Structure 1
Amino acid sequence: MPTPEFILRLRKFIGHDPLWLSGVTAVVLHEGQVLLNRRSDNGAWALLHGVMEPGEQPAETAVREVREETGVLVVPERITSVYTLPPGVCANGDQVQYLNIAFQCRPVAGHARVNDDESLEVRWFPLDSLPELRRNDQLLLSKAREEMTPWFASPPTGGDHGDRIHSGQ
């Protein structure tokens, strides 16, 4: 996957240290099907994901990423989930963690096709006949299909999390 230029510049200063990034997932649904791409970096089928560029709005990122990867123009209809993914390590050793905002999107133009080097294949799949998806994508797809209000990951339970109100006395 091509790394955005702003990340390459940051990496010159921080090396492989953890980097907090904002990302989006587009869950593109149409007539009982979902649009997926088979990623060129790992060969896995996936929802459409992307990193927000500095100054870019989250919904704008979803539209851009879907168009760049599949040739399909979408309209984001609602936020389906907001949560922090577990920390990860890229193949080159870069440590990352994402705040992910997922959108349910509706296609409005274009034909699904491989449109850049981030995808090996692009296809519509019936929701009852999906290829194997990573656990995170299964979760995001289920939240887009089942929930009408956004899902937020629950805060940790137990212990003191500093959530007491103090009167200052």
Structure 2
Amino acid sequence: MNYISEMRKFIGNETLFTVGCGVIIEENERILLQHRTDEDNWCIPGGVMEIGETFEITAKRETFEETGLIVTGLELFGLYSGEKCFVQYPNKDKVFSVQIIFKTNNYTGELKQVGIESREHKFFSKTELPVNLNPRQKAFVLDWKENKKTPIIK
């Protein structure tokens, strides 16, 4: 069942409250970002929780769907909420999403470069991050860049 599709039948484009889970994947002090096809910006792998899932299962499922990678050893990186978690998409759908972000450097699998949601994946160092970061994810990418060590609550 796709929760968002089902709810949109009832509320149309009005604001839907969701829980998003994402993973900061590190390799040699670099972060894996994906270039999104829908908004033409860079973000970490992740997506929306489905009914009955745990935060960790959502993060792992979404990461696999978007990258082809299986992540393990997830550690809580941060909890994000507030104005920057609101978006109105080009189709007029509105969403407010609380973000649960994990971090890991443990992964297996072959990175798929092209998919429905992304056109490219690339590891970036802290000094070469792209300028067109997803505005709803910029806070946690910059927190990663600044070496935040304890779970962040924003």
Displacement of 1:135: 4.3
Aligned residues: 150
Evaluate the alpha carbon distance shift between residue 110 and residue 127 of structure 1 in structure 2; reply closer, same or farther with a 3 A threshold: farther
The residue number in structure 1 matching 2:142 is 142
Equivalent residues of 1:16, 1:95 under 8 A apart: yes
Output the TM-score relative to the length of structure 1.
Answer: 0.80
Equivalent residues of 2:35, 2:42 under 8 A apart: yes
- In the alignment, the residues of structure 2 paired with residue 138 and residue 18 of structure 1 have an alpha-carbon distance, to the nearest angstrom, of 22
Instruction: Give the unaligned 5+ runs of structure 1.
Output: 154-169
Equivalent residues of 1:63, 1:76 under 8 A apart: no
The residue number in structure 2 matching 1:52 is 49
Equivalent residues of 2:81, 2:98 under 8 A apart: yes
Letter in 2 for 1:149: T
Displacement of 1:140: 0.4
Identity of aligned residues (%): 29
Considering only CA atoms, is the larger Rg found in Structure 1 or Structure 2? 1
Equivalent residues of 1:59, 1:76 under 8 A apart: no
Output the TM-score relative to the length of structure 2.
Answer: 0.87
Displacement of 1:64: 1.1
* Of 59, 64, 68, the match for 1:62: 59
Equivalent residues of 2:2, 2:50 under 8 A apart: no
Q: Report 1:1-169 matches (<5 A).
A: 5-86=2-83, 87-114=86-113, 116-132=115-131, 133-144=133-144, 146-153=147-154
Instruction: Give the unaligned 5+ runs of structure 2.
Output: none
- In the alignment, the residues of structure 2 paired with residue 36 and residue 10 of structure 1 have an alpha-carbon distance, to the nearest angstrom, of 29
Evaluate the alpha carbon distance shift between residue 116 and residue 85 of structure 1 in structure 2; reply closer, same or farther with a 3 A threshold: farther
Displacement of 1:123: 1.5
- In the alignment, the residues of structure 2 paired with residue 84 and residue 127 of structure 1 have an alpha-carbon distance, to the nearest angstrom, of 24
Evaluate the alpha carbon distance shift between residue 92 and residue 141 of structure 1 in structure 2; reply closer, same or farther with a 3 A threshold: same
- In the alignment, the residues of structure 2 paired with residue 101 and residue 46 of structure 1 have an alpha-carbon distance, to the nearest angstrom, of 14
Runs of 4+ off more than 3 Å: none
Equivalent residues of 1:71, 1:115 under 8 A apart: no
Residue 64 of structure 2 aligns to a residue in which SS?
Answer: helix
